[in-house]
Amino acid sequence: MPAPSTPPRALPAWSKSQTIMLLRAATCAGWNDAQRHIAMRHAGCPNDEKDKPSVKHPRNTQAQFEIVMALAEAQAAERHALDKFPLPNQKGVQHGVRGWRDVAAAGRSRSLRFAEAIWAEAAERIPEIFGKPSALRGFIARQTRNDPPSITLGREAEWLGDLDEGQLYRVTEGLRAWVGREFLVRDIEPKSFRIPPHVRRQLERSSRGH
């Protein structure tokens, strides 16, 4: 019998040039591998089989790349090491962008509007779960309580507008999963967001188990 074929390895989501750029940025920031992993976790980058974020992970996103670059840029600025820091490609980037912190700030504005729309729809359609402000505050606290003070500077967030770029990305993805799960249970189709595929799969497996 022929040996079973092994599934092909998923390709890295970040291009080779992006990976090189991020590692150069980490050097300018003075980060070692552990510090780079902290920044990548803060941006929501998933862990690999070694339980660490990886620049080669197939589920890394462009938004996460921009957030990590912005964190590295801020640290490099403190070290007066911006002269060798890789700049964003100006092609296709809005006028007036000077660095990665500008790119991440623009992404944060979009993410904030998205998160606010998700929560507004959730509160309107399932008020018994999402209608109280304390529900959102509690969710934000759970999502951010382990964030390193070296990145957050000790700031505590209570509302969506208090979150930095990395926190907002993670909270938004968390809201898609939490709200999406409650919508699926009630056969509600969301208008403001897409339910993550893994949430649908989890619910399907749970239904088959009963």
Per-residue pLDDT tens over the stretch 138-150: 999 999 998 988 7
6-28 b/e (C-beta count within 10 Å ≥ 16 → b): eeeeeebbbeeebbebbeebbbb
Is 31 within 8 Å of 41 (Cβ atoms)?
Answer: no
What pLDDT sits at residue 152? 75
The span from the CA of 153 to the CA of 138, in Å, is 21
What pLDDT sits at residue 1? 42
The type of residue at 28 is C
At 109-120, the pLDDT tens digits run 999 999 999 999
Q: What is the pLDDT confidence band of residue 92, given thresholds at 50, 70 and 90?
A: very low
The torsion angles phi and psi of 84, rounded to 5 degrees, stand at -110, 10
What pLDDT sits at residue 113? 96
**What is the pTM for the complete model shown?**
0.80
